[in-house]
Structure 1
Amino acid sequence: MIKGFAEAVYKKYDGTAYDLMNEALEKALNMAGIQRSDIQGFITTFLPGIFDGNIFLHFFPDQLCGYLGINPKYIDSLDYGGPSVLAGLYRAEKLIKYEGLDNILLLFGGKGSLVRQTRETVDSYENLYDGVTNTPYKQLLSGYSYKNPLSDYALVAQRHKKIYGTADEDRARLMVKQRKNGNDSGYSMFTGDISVDDVLSSPVISSPLHLLEIVYPVDGFHAFIVSKSPGKLRPVKIKKYGEAHWSKLPPELEEIMITPASESSRNFRDEIKHCDAYELYDSFSITVILQLEDTGIIKKGEFGKFIEKTDISSSGDMPLNTGGGSINRGQPAYMSGSVLLYESLLQLNGMAKNQVRDINSVFINGIGGWSRNHSVSMILGD
């Protein structure tokens, strides 16, 4: 059960990544009512460039523990990208149940602005260094100005248009509705009403994806403390769980429009359809569409009809990305999983400004890794 949770998110933070993570941790400790000495487990992740420009930090979790002044019995670093924090929550619950530990700290984030200002991404950060390769793309794509994962998701969106007739207006309509949710949430970073025309008139970054359907990397950390008791919070825990890992590059996939979410959600599709709210990874507009299809919420090719007729607001018939998603909150250090988990906990604990009424369960799905290699699906509730 989660005893404390907090965020510290900025468009651009002037201090170090270490200062920023300390801010998020202190807030979570205050909510949980515990001290740093009470933390018995620590789970985190690392991506190139997000910690004060370092492409690599040796024994990274140890360095963080030393800086934060914690001495956990268990340390782990999960390298799944966006859904890492969700996988961390599952492992934390198992550590408490089977290993007898208490107060497991999940700390995820970094400084996306450090990478953003180089005009690279965490997947192409290697371009800044001679003789350094941290992705399998460098030799394959040398000579091209590649910006994965953007170019890859644009290819998927283009294929979705061709095979299923998904129009640019359909994706834009999703962005308009998510922006409305972000406005209503009271804590979204990117606010103000937008229209379908606004989305479609924003610059095309990689055809057919426009600027307003692409996530913006920001600086931030989320801290979650998983404990034996929920303290003052609702006793929220994982009710259903699945993860899937497809270690293939796009040319090796039989179909690029199918993601590992089709596997990670396979064993509880009926339960998914009866959840009270849905938080789906939204690095790009097309990412949400793929998860809606692959988790069985809608059929392939029916997104246009779905988004035209469905009210996805917190008071609607299918609350979806109720905080506006990371497209409107910002994506801390190129990972959106913590944004989804944070909003889910706000909703389940009755702490959201745009509260879903009578909410008892939230379906969360995270996608990450090169070319959607990893997916974590879970239903959270009590």
Structure 2
Amino acid sequence: MIRGFSEAIYKNYEGSAYEIMNEAFNKALYMAGLERKDIDGFMTTFLPGVFDGNIYMHFFPDQICNYLGIKPRYIDSLEYGGPSVLSAFWRAENIVKAGMAENILLLFGGKGSEVRKKKQTVDSMENIYPEVVNTPYKPLLSGYNNMNPVSDYALLAQRHKKVYGSTDEQRAMLIVKQRENANRSGYSMFSGSIKVEDVLISPIVSSPLHLLEIVYPVDGFHAFIVSKNSGKLREIRILKYGEAHQSALPPEMMDITVTPAAESSSAFRNDIKKCDFYELYDSFSITVMIQLENTGLVPPGTSGSFLEKNSISVDGDFPLNTGGGSLNRGQPAYMSGSVILYETLLQMNEMAGKNQVKNPGKAFINGMGGWSRNHSVSMILGD
């Protein structure tokens, strides 16, 4: 279970990624009541460019452990993007239960600004580094300006409009309501009132997605310490867990509106509907909508109308992305999984201040990774 957790998030950080991770680590240690010598497990991930612009780092986990001054007997690195931290949490719980480690540090993040300055994303690094290959079919795609993951999610949004008749206004409504949550929380990077019209007049980045529907990559890390006991925190465990992965390209898929979230959540659909609040990966507006449908919370094609009719605030009928999501908090190094896990832990430990869910018993989290079609991790947390 989680004994300590923290974040260190900046829009633009002038120092190194190592300095930010050390800040997050120190905060998590303080909450956990532990010292560096107590950490005997470590899990992380690496995305090209987010560690001070480095495209590759040899024995990457060793470099971090050396810098942080920890000597773990268990080390692991997961590489499927945003939901990696959620899988790390599940694996860490089981590793601790098995007696392989007592206190495992999960450290996820980096400097999104380093890639942002190059006007690329971690999924389009091959545009500036020919040695980086994102697909074995690169020669077939080399004539296109690769804007992934934006173009991949734009394709999903366009297909959803075609098949189900969802509208730009419905996606924009989600953005407005998540901003309202962010404004109430008081701890989001982006705040201020916006209207549906503001979303729709913001520039189209990849049709039909507008600028305000797209997450902003920032600099930062989240640190989570998984231990045998929760220390001073609530004894929160993973009650249900599922993950799913698939590697087909869109032309090879029967239906691109069915993502791996449909499989990762399939074993406990009824339990999901009984949760007290929901934290869904929100890299784009369509990401949230497709998860609502794929996890069985609403029927296919109805997420837009659902969001129009229901309140997603903490005191509403469907508390969703209660802190405003990564669309308003920023996305550390192109990964939102740690943002939604951090918010979930705030809520479950009643640390969310003015934006606290009343008497939270169970929370549902779903993370998406790679692109809309690659990875999904679903979990229910409770005690």
Identity %: 69
Q: Which residue of 1 aligns with 2:345?
A: 345
Partner of 2:320: 320
Contact 1:311–1:318 (8 Å) recurs in 2: yes
Tell me the amino acid that sits aligned with residue 381 of structure 1: G
Letter of the aligned partner of 1:20 in structure 2? I
Name the CA distance, whole Å, in 2 between partners of 1:158 and 1:261: 19
Counterparts of residues 219-230 of structure 1 (less than 5 Å):
219-230=219-230
Deviation, 1:245, is 0.7
Query: Which residue number in structure 2 is paired with residue 65 of structure 1?
Result: 65
Q: Deviation string for 1:120-152 (max 9, x for gaps)?
A: 110111221244434446323212211101001
> What one-letter code is carried by the residue in structure 2 that aligns with 1:142?
S
2:41 alignment partner in structure 1: 41
In 2, Cα distance between equivalents of 1:67 and 1:23: 12
Q: Give the residue type in structure 1 aligned to 2:375.
A: H
Kindly state the Cα deviation for residue 302 of structure 1 after the two structures are TM-superposed.
1.0
Give the aligned partner of residue 306 of structure 1.
306
User: Which letter maps to 1:65?
Assistant: C
Give the structure 1 partner of residue 169 of structure 2. Answer: 169
- Measured against aligned partners, the alpha-carbon deviations of 1:156-188 in whole angstroms (never above 9, x if no partner) come to 101111110101100000000000001111110
Pairwise mapping of residues 100-179 of structure 1 onto structure 2 (< 5 A)? Answer: 100-136=100-136, 138-179=138-179
* 1:366 equivalent in alignment to 2:367: yes
- Once residues 132 and 165 of structure 2 are traced to their aligned partners in structure 1, the CA distance between those partners, rounded to angstroms, is 41
Q: Return 5+ residue gaps in structure 2 as ranges.
A: none
Distance 1:65 1:162, change over 3 A: same
CA distance in 1 between partners of 2:137 and 2:349 (Å): 43
Other structure's SS at 2:98 match: helix
Normalized against structure 1, the TM-score is what?
A: 0.98
TM-score after normalising by structure 2 = 0.98
Do structure 1's residue 188 and structure 2's residue 218 form an aligned pair?
Answer: no
Residues 363 and 221 (structure 1 numbering): CA distance in 2 closer, same or farther, change over 3 Å?
same
Letter in 1 for 2:298: I
Q: Counterpart of 1:296 in 2: which secondary structure?
A: coil
CA contact (8 A) 2:74 2:100 kept: no
Q: Which residue of 2 aligns with 1:215?
A: 215
CA distance in 2, matches of 1:244, 1:140: 27
Contact 2:275 2:364 in 1 (8 A): yes
Which 5+ residue runs of structure 1 have no aligned equivalent? none
Given that 1:277 and 1:319 are in contact with CA atoms closer than 8 Å, whether structure 2 keeps it comes out as yes
1:87-98 matched pairs, under 5 angstroms: 87-98=87-98
State the partner residue of 2:203. 203
Deviations 1:24-62 (A, max 9, x none): 000000000101110011000000100011111111111
* Mapped partners of 2:139, 2:154: distance in 1: 21
Moved over 3 A (4+): 134-138
Query: 1:376 aligns to what?
Result: 377
Aligned equivalents of 1:53, 1:135: Cα separation in 2: 21
8 Å CA contact retained: 2:153, 2:371: no
Q: What displacement does 1:341 show?
A: 0.2
How much does 1:278 deviate?
0.1
Q: What is residue 6 of structure 1 aligned with on the other side?
A: 6
Query: Quick one: distance in 2 between partners of 1:183 and 1:140?
Result: 45
Q: Secondary structure at the match of 2:118?
A: coil
Match of 2:241 in 1: 241
Is 128-137 or 12-21 further displaced after alignment?
Answer: 128-137
What does the per-residue CA deviation read over 1:218-273, in whole Å, with 9 as the maximum and x for residues that have no partner? 00000000011111100011000000111222222111111101000001000000
Question: How many Å separate the matches in 2 of 1:182 and 1:376?
Answer: 24
Aligned to 1:252: 252
Over the residues paired in the alignment, what is the CA RMSD in angstroms?
1.0
